[in-house]
Each structure stands twice: as structure tokens, then as C-alpha cells.
Amino acid sequence: MCKSSKPNCVFLDKLSIDCNDLDFSAITSSTNLTLYDRSSESEVVSRSVNAEIIITNKVRLDRKQIEHLPCLRLICVIATGTNNIDFDAAADNNITVCNVKDYAAASVSQHVLLLMLSLSTSFLRYQQDINQGLWQQQDQFCLLSHPIQVLTGKTIGLIGYGHIAKAVEKLALAFGMKVVISQSLIIKNQQGRLPLNDVLKQSDFISLHCPLTDLTSNLIGKAEFEKMKSSAYIINTARGGIINEADLLVALKTGQISGAGLDCLSQEPPPADDPLINANLAQLIITPHNAWGTHFARQKLVNGTATNIQQYIAARTQL
């Protein structure tokens, strides 16, 4: 039976957000919730055949799957990015798709600043020096063997201007930085924003905050790195595919740019032979796509998904 007073709900990949520290009561109170730690694409249909609501973080839902789920009426992406959903197939089958847009701004924006500060102060290089005993061997009180910069007076260019980018902007301004914002790739001539090429040329830091779409795939590659200052850094806490990683590696090795801080790669988890991870470059910091992963943000994500479900149920009962 597809429709009941309390809809059947399946969460396909709970382990992707939960460390056994989250409260799902706002969802369980309004649905018959079944939780799976992880689901392969081949398991989606069998696990969801009676579900009116599916919650997914990274599990793909394509046309073939959607058309074999007769009860499905709501897909809740428990994330902001929705590139794992076939929207055309959902629309063709009268299925609503929703996400949670503002749950990680505080968490991700502070991670952006972490990467910027670490790169601009040569943090990793100094840690390596201490681990190798170089400070201990000095005949003076300090080490000044690597560049240390202040953020004050530097320019940060934001590509994408949603909740997270606006949170980064506030933090950057608090550090005395100048903020420039790239024009949308869709909406032209936005007042107060600059063309992408101008942002690339002017910025000391580029921070990416746009979704991964056909328009933004490989948005930053060889031509874009050539426009950037040789002293500039690029920060990506959005999606890995926005940067052409082969071109980034060349830009770092040849000194076209000074460094990069990445919280995402084009393949996740990355293979053991990933070229960026194995490059062993001091000016490259990679974190494991966990900028969003504070308990505060993850619980907010659950609560936002619960709100989406409750709004759907409220509308459903009026039909």
C-alpha cells in the first residue's frame, strides 16, 4: 500500500552524515522511517519500493530507478547539492525534489578561513620543520624560513554567492580583506559584481561556492590559472569537478599560483593513486570533504529535512 496516514520513508545512506550522535525524532514522529547505513544503486529499488519518501545524501536516483518506484512522491536530498537526482525523471513522475540550503554556512566558512590562514602562514611547512627538529636546532628563538602573510588588505574573490559565500564574506571583512564577487554564469550584468576574468586577475584568494553543473564543470582550468596572480591561492569547499585537477597540479608545480586548499575532489573517496594526494606539495592542503561536518551542521541538516517532510505531509493531507 503506497499511501497511509504516516508515510513510509527510507533513508538510503545514513552513515554519510551520522556518527551515532544525531537526533532523528523530528522525522520518526511523522513517518515510518527505515534507516540504512549505506545503499548501492542496485539496492535502491528493493529498499524503496513501498516508500513514499526517500532521503538520500549521495546515492543516485536516476530515471530507471525512479520509474520502478510507484509509491515515491518526495525525494529529500539531505544536502544542498542535488546533482545526484534526475530532475526530469522526477518531474515526469510527479515527484517533488527538495534539499536543505542553509545548514553549513558557519561550518564551511570557518573551514575556508582555516585553509586560507594555513596557506598564508605556511602552517604545514612550519609543522614539518618542527617535526624534523629544525626549530630545536636553531641558535635563535624563532623560525622564519617560510613566508608569512597577513590577510588584511588582501582581496578575496567569491565565485558563487549563496549562504556559505556570504558567511565567508563576513569573516573576510572582519580580517580587513576586500571582497569581490563574480557575476553569475546565468544572470549577466549584476550590479556590484565583476566578470569572472576580472575576479581571477584581481584576487589574492579565490573561493569557490557554486554548485557542480554542466556550466561549472571544469570552470577553473589552465586558462583561468593563467589569469590568476602567481601569488594567489584557490580554495574549493564546493565540489571537486569545478576545478580541472590535472591543470591545477600543473599550476602548482610550475608556480602559476602559490597554493590551493581543497575540501573536495572529483572522485570521492579518492583512489590510492590520486595525483593530487600523492603530489606531496607543501602548498597544497587537502581535507576529506568534511568542512560541513560539525555536529551543529549535521543536526541542522536533519532538522531541515524534517521540515521539508512535514511541509509535504501538511500539503498532502489537504488534497
Q: H or E segment at 296?
A: helix 295-317
Annotated catalytic residue: which of 289, 295, 298, 316?
289
CB 41 within 8 Å of CB 68: no
Annotated catalytic residue: which of 239, 245, 298, 316?
239
- Residue 3, by phi and psi: left (phi above 0), alpha (psi -120 to 50) or beta? beta
> Sheet harboring 74-77: ordered strands across?
32-35, 8-11, 53-56, 74-77, 96-98
Separation CA 305–CA 311 (nearest Å): 10
Annotated catalytic residue: which of 41, 43, 268, 316?
268
Amino acid identity at 76: C
> Does the annotation mark 268 as catalytic?
yes
Amino acid identity at 249: L
Residue 280 CB partners (closer than 8 Å, separation 6+) = none
CB 210 within 8 Å of CB 219: yes
> Does the annotation mark 239 as catalytic?
yes
> Does the annotation mark 245 as catalytic?
no
- Residues classed as catalytic: 239, 268, 289
